[in-house]
Amino acid sequence: MVIYFHAVLQIRLLTGAKSFFPLIGAGGVDIFFVLSGFMMWYVIEQKPLGGSAFLRQRIVRVVPLYWAVTAVALVVACMVPSLLRSTAFDLHHAIASLLFLPWPNPALAAMGAKDVLVPVLVPGWTLNFEMMFYLLFAATLWMAKSLRLPALGLMIAGVYWISGSVGTVSPLSFYHRDMLFEFLAGAVLGALQLERRPLSAVVVLCFVIAGFSMMVGAEVLFDEPKPRILLLGVPALLILIGALRGEAGGVVPSWRLLAALGDASFSIYLIHGFVLAALRVAAARMGVASGAGSFQIAFLLAALVISAMIGLGTYYKVERPLVRMAGRLLSQGGSSRQLQAA
């Protein structure tokens, strides 16, 4: 969904007009946030951890590849600045990006978007939210189990309120988005243990179709769906409910290719911007870019397939070795295999 969304933006950039395809797919991020909230709760239910161990595992899982791809983006920005239009080298911005701190993007500021707080690797803005959630979730792991969910809700509400009380655009104001509550919604699903409660295939299908229909409808009707928690967050919640209870009921098939793409999803997410930029430059230089439907279909298919293929390669050849290495460095007596699985 996210690759599709960004591919359509590239097509519009190439053709100078609206694309043959509708600009939808941003709701993939909302699904990601709800799923993340669920997964963190689910993992801790399966294998309880303390707050420090939890954060260490999250660092091992997320940081190595993100830092590596950010470094590549910075090198590309210096050597081939025309390739990544939204990236320019700035020391303060680079450091903030590596530390998952929202910071004004100098490349976008030069285009007039001075208040856009996105990292060197633009899709990494979601990881700024993710890391904030990890910190809040880790804080609950020092509490009694019965207090964790209400404490998490209060902390998320607190961050949302405090970030909204800041008068100007700042790293703190970045978090004043109702998307934060999607993590809480996912955690609630984890606490309800829906993965253990099966539903029939028909009911599951109704949940999933309703969720995607609502999500697509909101993105078609509104340039920027607001309130996002209702227009995209609730549909994401319905989709995940259907998926969890469908899997519990045995109506979700197990496909090795989709499982592999799921494993590689982090790599695919981080590298797809490079793929799309390269396709845009190649199309422009070959003079094949046009508003014709055939070109747009070819560009979109190439974006989806090549991003998946390179993402899979990145996962097996780069991400996994980096995670193993980081696990050895930070395991502090725990096995790197356990950290990689986490």
pLDDT at residue 234 is higher than 70: yes
Q: 12 exposed, middle or buried (CB, 10 Å; 0-12, 13-18, 19+)?
A: middle
**Mean pLDDT across 254-273:** 95
pLDDT score at 108: 79
Q: Where are the domains of the chain?
A: 2-341
Cis previous bond, 321, omega within 30: no
In percent, the amount of the chain with pLDDT more than 70 equals: 96
pLDDT score at 83: 73
pLDDT score at 340: 52
Model confidence over 305-333: pLDDT tens digits?
A: 999 999 999 999 999 999 999 998 887 54
Cross-strand pairs, 104 = 117
AA identity, residue 253: P
Sign of CA dihedral 227, 232, 237, 238: positive
Cross-strand pairs, 117 = 104
> Exposure string (b/e) for 146-183, b if CB count within 10 Å is 16 or more?
eebbebbbebbeebbeebeeeeeeeeebbbebebbbbb
At 121 the three-state DSSP class reads coil
